[in-house]
Chain A
């Protein structure tokens, strides 16, 4: 019996010991942290550049003037509001780290950042109505937002307020986008390079075409779309920017849409009729997907991503959507330069920073807009996603000369050349949204209601000229 009790005590003590060791584990030596290679960026921080910014490490600022502090006389203790357009949450770390660097560069200035997405434009308009518009806002040049607000005297004239050496850090063609009375109301931020995404399964394997021989001009599209329809049964995914049709008409068709001397619209010229007739012919031939033609970019991109279109024109930064939403198709992607229209000019796809005219801190606001768009900030942004800087100095970095690996980076080595040639060829004209309505109705009448292209455009010109004469 004693032996049994002793054995039981031994077993019990062993079990209790085991339990105790499980409940209170011995301290484990901390594994040595993986030390990743870091890049020391000038004087205020270290940013690891991988797919996303992973970590921000503050270091002691080195003495000496800060080359990024280019605006003098910044209001002390300024509190700025910054709105960006659809950058959160993907780029939260980048935006926050850039703002932190800005606040270190201009001590005392504080920035409150908000990202607005699909309701950005409505929010921005309502903010002006409510008297609490942000000091600095990320507006789209491409969508005509800068001009809309500048024409109403709501934005700060940057041509007259920024130092010339700051203006000179941007490509002139991009700083002079969306001019109003010859003045710029924006500093250009990130750019997209228009490329053609090609689904090689449809384009090469089924249609028997060669991606490398993708048309370089728009005139080839009718024939190309007919071939694709005949061989694959799919329709072409072309898009006219329905919010600014005159822009597409100018770049694609080489049309002079407005005469600034006579202040009259001229988009019923033979060039304009030829441009519209090309689309009319394709609609009649049934080779275009009409659901995407006069729609938002999203519709065409979704069609392409879902494998129902052989090619689609967009920015390479959106290739990530194809990769995320249809990984199987990503391996069949090819990228070619977008065709150039009869104008010979390249249509900028540009984001900008603008400042509200009545900001209490104009110097600080300019400092922020310039800081967000300076060569270093834009270079860091470019390393995260396939966008391109509006500042020539950014392209001096070896990043832009390295041979691209990923398909979305294929445009990187030629980006500088493309960006430097982008320019706004559409002159300023009054009431753009209202005029666009006349143009949209004219284009739809010709496309879908059998109204001759000449008649549709001439009627729209008459209406537009009557409107601005009122």
Chain B
């Protein structure tokens, strides 16, 4: 039996497809094209073939940025562990627990620029809260210049990412916990589990879909980190490029040094890395859920 082709669904799809074509597809194709050109934004791009990619291989800053971006993935397991612990802590029927949940969620809805500026004050050399506290406790004699100390740039940025993300992921895990049937916990108690074992044997397996989901989105966010570095280092990338990540380098090459062609090549490499991570995560998710 021959099925008649209907144009109606395609007509309904057309507006959305047009928007995607203009704002997603065209920029992607443009970036692919620019990555093979010498383009300074203000004058016409010049075709240079693979020169940008060859330069990437020789560019020490690119490898440093790649290393920093991969190192930044440390935030993913940290976020998962802290968010689960926090979700378990607030998954109780206590008076006022909603207030605590809202407070933990607050950083997630705060603007990253405002939060970054606040964190700069915390780590400020003269008058910063951390230095003041450490000196008051007698642990420091002189203030430490935290934000211009290369060893501290990435860890401080990671702490900021974790602080901002933990409340958001907590909500996801909280929803997961509340979907676990109470009977399973009762059965575990009857079997002699203590509180820790109860969560180890019931909560964690029950949260596996959420863990996979959070792992995917938080690792992708970590690979694309920019705001934290931008604000904490005041657009410099940190002393000795100690905070330069892939996206920060991309931004700097495009808008500071006007190497938009080279920045496009970096963007495509980042896209490839992100795709690999996404595919890995999806495969893991499929394995966990038993999907084929």
Contact = CB atoms under 8 A, between A and B. Distances in A.
Given A295-B236, A445-B240, 7 more contacts: A125-B42, A154-B42, A154-B43, A291-B145, A295-B234, A296-B234, A299-B234
Interface string A265-297: 000000000000000000000100111011110
B126 A444 contact: no
Interface stretch (B173-181, B207-215, B253-261, B268-276): B253-261
B288 interface: no
B145 A289 contact: yes
A308 B41 contact: no
A444 B241 CA distance: 9
15 contacts: A122-B255, A126-B41, A128-B41, A289-B125, A290-B148, A291-B124, A291-B145, A291-B148, A295-B234, A303-B126, A308-B127, A444-B239, A444-B240, A448-B239, A449-B240
Given A128-B42, A290-B239, A434-B257, A306 B127 contact: yes
A242 interface: yes
B40 interface: yes
A152 B234 contact: no
Nearest to B257: A433
A294 B236 CA distance: 9
B127 to A, nearest CB: 6
A156 interface: no
Contact of B240 (A433, A434, A448): A448
A129 B39 CA distance: 10
Interface in B235-260: 235-236, 239-241, 255-258
B256 to A, nearest CB: 7
A235 B126 contact: yes
A200 B258 CA distance: 43
Interface in B125-144: 125-127, 142
Interface string A299-324: 10001001010000000000000000
B125 A235 contact: yes
Contact of A289 (B43, B126, B234, B241): B126
B147 interface: yes
B150 interface: yes
A355 to B, nearest CB: 15
Nearest to A295: B234
A356 to B, nearest CB: 11
Contacts of B255: 122
What is the size category of the interface that chain A forms with chain B?
20 to 34
Given A235-B125, A444-B240, A448-B240, A291 B147 contact: yes
Closest 6 CB pairs of A and B: A290-B148, A128-B42, A308-B126, A290-B145, A125-B41, A433-B257
Interface size band for B: 20 to 34
A152 B40 contact: yes
A234 interface: yes
Interface of B: 40-43, 124-127, 142, 145, 147-148, 150, 234-236, 239-241, 255-258
Contacts of B40: 152
A152 B236 contact: no
A126 B142 CA distance: 46
Contacts of A152: 40, 42-43
Q: Which of B43, B125, B142, B255 has the most CB of A within 10 A?
A: B125
B239 to A, nearest CB: 5
Interface string A139-163: 0000000000100101000000000
B27 to A, nearest CB: 14
A448 B257 contact: no
A154 B43 CA distance: 9
A463 to B, nearest CB: 11
A441 B124 CA distance: 23
Given A234-B126, A306-B127, A125 B150 contact: no
A445 B239 CA distance: 9
A437 interface: yes
A303 B127 CA distance: 10
A208 to B, nearest CB: 20
A129 B42 contact: yes
Contacts of A437: 257
Contacts of A308: 126-127
Given A286-B142, A433-B258, A445-B240, A291 B41 contact: no
A445 B147 CA distance: 16
A290 B277 CA distance: 37
Contacts of A448: 148, 150, 239-240
Given A129-B41, A433-B257, A242 B125 contact: no
Contacts of A444: 239-240
Nearest to B147: A291
A53 B166 CA distance: 52
A125 B258 CA distance: 9
Nearest to A296: B234
B150 A291 contact: no
Contacts of B124: 291
A181 B255 CA distance: 26
Most buried by A among B147, B150, B240, B241: B240
A228 B176 CA distance: 58
A161 to B, nearest CB: 21
Contacts of B126: 234-235, 289, 303, 308
A126 B258 CA distance: 11
Contacts of A449: 150, 240
A446 B257 CA distance: 23
Nearest to B42: A128
Contacts of B125: 235, 289-291
Interface string A435-451: 00100010011001100
Contacts of A295: 234, 236
Contacts of B241: 441
A242 B252 CA distance: 14
